[in-house]
Amino acid sequence: MLSKPRFNVSLLAVLSLAMAALFCAVPSVRAAYSLESAARAGLLTVSGFASSSYSEATLTILNKASTALDIDFSTVCFVQNNDTQRVGLAYEKSTGSYVLRFAAGKQYTLRFSSRCLDQNRHSPVTGTAFAKFFQIDTTAFAPIVNALRNNYSQSSVWSITDGNTALSQAWKRADSRPAPGGTTNPPVTSSGIRLSGNCSWSTSGNQVKISVAKVENRNTSGVSGTLRLSLWASKTPYSGSSISGYMLGTTSLGTLRAGYAFNNIANYTTFSRPPSGYYYTTIILEEYNGSYYMKDYITFSNPTSF
C-alpha cells in the first residue's frame, strides 16, 4: 500500500520565512497602507518618473520603518506639473500586483503599468520626474480605483474619468490644479488633431529625428489639412500661442481622416542648429488651413545645450 506524500513542515516554514523577507506581491492578511498614508507618516520615501508617457511609471521606494510594510499603490495619482495628466498605477510589472511588501530598511526601484486619468490634459514627458502625488478618495471614486486594480484598458479608464457622467465631473473638480485653458495651461480636448503617447527627438550629424507615438484625428467626420511636426528651441518653456525661438527641423505627415491615426512616427529631416546656448525644446503639431496653425504640442521640461 502506497503511503501518502508528506511535507516537511520545518523546511516549508524556513522557506516561507525566507520569502517573506524578500520584496514580493502580497496576499496580505493585515491591512495595507496606502502609498500616500505611509509617506505622510514618514514610513517611506517616494520618487519617480514617467518611463513611457502615461503608460508606465518607474518609482523608487525606501522603507524607513523597522518592520516590513504592505503598500497599496492603487489609490494614488502622480503629476509632473500643472499641465500634465494625473497618472494612476495599475500593477507592478515584475509581480503583477498593486499591493507589495517592502522589507524593513530596504530600497526598491519598480516599474508600474499606469493609466492616464485626464484625457483633457497633456501627456507626461517620458523621463521627467513626477513633482507630487495625490490620494484618490476611495469612497467617492471607487470606480476609478477599481479600474486600476483590475487593469482596465486605457480607453475603459477614460470612459470613467472623462465620460459625460456626474462621477467624471466630480473627478475633474477634485483636481486641485488650475483647470485646463488659457495661455499657460492650454486645453487638450477629446476632439481635434492631437499628439498621443511618447514624444522625443535626437540628432545625428546634420539630421534630426522627430519621434511621436501617435498623431490622432479625433474628429467624427472629414479629413484634416496637411499635418506637420516641427521641433523648436526657445529660451523659455513654450506654453501655447506664438513661439519665439528657432525651428530645428520640420517633417510633413500628410492628411488624416477622422477616426484614424499616424502611428510610431520616427522621421528624419535636416537639422538647423541654433546659436550656442541652453534652450527648451518643443514638438509642435500643426495643420495647414491657408497657413499652418498649432493643434497640439509637447514641451520638454529640461533645457538642452546646443
| 270 within a domain of the structure (yes/no) | yes
Q: What is the pLDDT of residues 261-275, one digit of tens each?
A: 899 999 999 999 999
> Does residue 109 carry a pLDDT above 90?
yes
Same domain, 197 and 163: no
Residue 1 falls within a domain, yes or no? no
Q: Is residue 17 part of a domain?
A: no
Is 210 in the same domain as 268? yes
**229 within a domain of the structure (yes/no):** yes
Could you tell me the CATH number of the domain that includes residue 288?
Answer: 2.60.40
Residue at 269 is within a domain: yes
Look at the pTM and tell me if it is higher than 0.75: no
Over residues 171-182, the pLDDT tens digits come to 999 988 876 654
Q: State which residues form the domain around 203.
A: 193-305
Confirm whether 101 is domain-assigned: yes
* Tally of domains within the chain: 2
The reply to whether 162 and 197 lie within a common domain is: no
Q: pLDDT at position 244, please? A: 85
In a domain, 7, yes or no: no
Residue 262 lies in a domain: yes
Across 80-86, average pLDDT = 83
Lowest mean pLDDT among 15-24, 73-82, 183-192, 277-286: 15-24
Task: Name the pLDDT band for 19 (thresholds 50, 70, 90).
Answer: very low
Given 169, 201, 223, the domain boundary residue is: 169
Q: Is 44 in the same domain as 155?
A: yes
Q: In this structure, are residues 282 and 232 in contact, taking their beta carbons and an 8 Å threshold?
A: yes
